[in-house]
Amino acid sequence: MPLVDTKKMFEMAYKNGYAVGAFNVNNMEITQGIIEAAAEKKAPLILQISRGARKYASMSYLRAIIDVAVAENPDIPIAMHLDHGDTFEVCKQCVDDGFTSVMIDASHLPFEENIKLTKKVVEYAHWNNVVVEAELGQLGGIEEDVVGVSHDDLESHLTDPDQAVEFVQKTECDSLAVACGTSHGAYKFKSEPKLAFDVIQKVADKLPGFPLVMHGSSSVLKEFKDLINKYGGQMPDAMGVPEDAIQKASKMAVCKVNIDTDLRMAMTAKIRQVFAESPAEFDPRKYLGPAREAIKAMVLHKLDVLGCADRAAQCL
């Protein structure tokens, strides 16, 4: 089957209390690891492409890799999503390039300007049968070109539930990324992680049935942090979103959970291990292959955490 949008995925996720994993792809090995896990778990899947990924690999290569994945897995619904588009022009280009879902992130703009830009993207995307994710409120941390607010300012930039209602009504976006205390990158928290579940619940109560999205939701898994540090890395203070918190959110109204940092850490940890244990190794297949397997194992685990394993058929 061809690429799909996220409408049916989110409808089923909301109805059945789970979330769909949205994983960032940058090259063939990362994509293969993700796809193999989704196929094994029979899970719906969102493949996200950021500006950094397009710059690194070029859109033509990424699209060709994804097209092969789609052709080889006809029973798995796969959406191709633009992650953090920041201008109308970028979103328009991705719509024209065949994306089935785009995100316009104008959360850094004043409320009315966010509405104006988001609505413009929605009008063009909907005209071309593409769905739109928007963002209201601001996350913390740094990831590629996305620079969030400082950790100390997170609470003052959480999504306002009343504004969320007005925003969705005026823009007609299809899903909304909410700021609920998460951050981009591997250093999400300075102390015990706490999410604003009350914000998620209030938005859900005011927008019943409407799908919400959690960005900055990698868990910075200990096994990979320990491997990275064991083999020369320096990530002692890295801290992510606890998986039980992600599960709780997915049973509320969060239908899409973004995961990128955990992919990077799984790949980096395994490559570091191979280089440390086999310092004479120079065949890329001998370290990229294990890295791909590490990504697959991590994604298999995440699909169980999100509750979307064995849900592919209902999303077709």
Dump strand ranges (E) for the chain: 20-24, 45-49, 78-85, 101-104, 131-136, 142-143, 146-147, 175-178, 212-214, 254-259
Angle (CA) 84-199-243 rounded to 5° is 70
List Cβ neighbours of 159 (8 Å cut-off, separation of 6 or more).
Answer: 136, 137, 176, 178, 179, 180, 199, 203
Contact 84, 105 (CB under 8 A): yes
Residue 49 bridge partners (DSSP): 82
Surface-to-core class of residue 297, CB atoms within 10 Å of its CB (0-12 exposed, 13-18 middle, 19+ buried):
middle
Q: Which residue out of 67, 75, 83, 145 is catalytically annotated? A: 83
Q: Is 8 exposed, middle or buried (0-12, 13-18, 19+ CB in 10 A)?
A: middle
Give the number of residues written for the chain. Answer: 316
Rounded Cα distance, 153 and 144, in Å: 20
* Alpha-carbon 129 to chain mean position: 21
To the query of whether residue 83 is one of the catalytic residues in this protein, the response is yes
Q: Among residues 103, 38, 100, 36, which one has the least CA distance to residue 63?
A: 100
Would you name the residues annotated as active-site residues? 83
